[in-house]
Amino acid sequence: MSADLRFLDTNVLVYLFDADAPAKQAIARVLLTAGPVVLSAQVLGEFYVTVTRKLRRPLDPARASRAVADLCALPVRDVTSGLVLAALRRSQDSQLSYWDALIVETALEAGASVLLTEDLQDGRSIAGLRIENPFRQQS
């Protein structure tokens, strides 16, 4: 586990493009460039769906596709069958949704020490992975 590697959840990336949340957008921009980060293929897929369908002012598919291509320049972990099975166990053992458990397992497999998300309990630790909500002052 790398002491400074941070796994970025989908919401961090979405805020990069959410003009309706300028304070969170500024935080997301800093997070993307402040030290080593890692993403997953799951996060990239969720990002595309969210920015094209769920934002108040959604991105057009071409712009969203370019954003995904740009984000692919960062380290991206694939979702493997082993991670799926680990996420199923984690989901059952930790009262996490399957999708959140898959994020946690992928972050652990990548060697991240911190998972940046607003979707899980801020300050919680799961198998040595610290959960941090970088937007807690903005929520």
Q: Is 83 inside any structural domain?
A: no
Q: Is 106 inside any structural domain?
A: no
Q: Which of 46, 12, 50 is nearest to 30 (CA)?
A: 12
Domain total of the chain: 1
* pLDDT, tens only, 38-85: 999 999 999 999 999 999 999 999 999 999 999 999 999 999 999 999
Which domain CATH number covers 19? 3.40.50.1010
pTM of the full structure:
0.94
Question: What is the residue-averaged pLDDT of the chain?
Answer: 95
Q: Please list, in sequence order, all residues whose beta carbon lies within 8 angstroms of the beta carbon of residue 9, skipping any fewer than 6 positions away.
A: 43, 103, 115, 116, 117, 118, 119
Q: Is 104 inside any structural domain?
A: no
Q: How many Cα atoms within 13 Å fall on the side-chain side of residue 129?
A: 23
Residue numbers of the domain that contains 40: 6-78+112-132
* pLDDT, tens only, 86-135: 999 999 999 899 999 999 999 999 999 999 999 999 999 999 999 999 99
Q: Is 29 inside any structural domain?
A: yes
Q: Is 58 inside any structural domain?
A: yes
Strand partners, 98: none
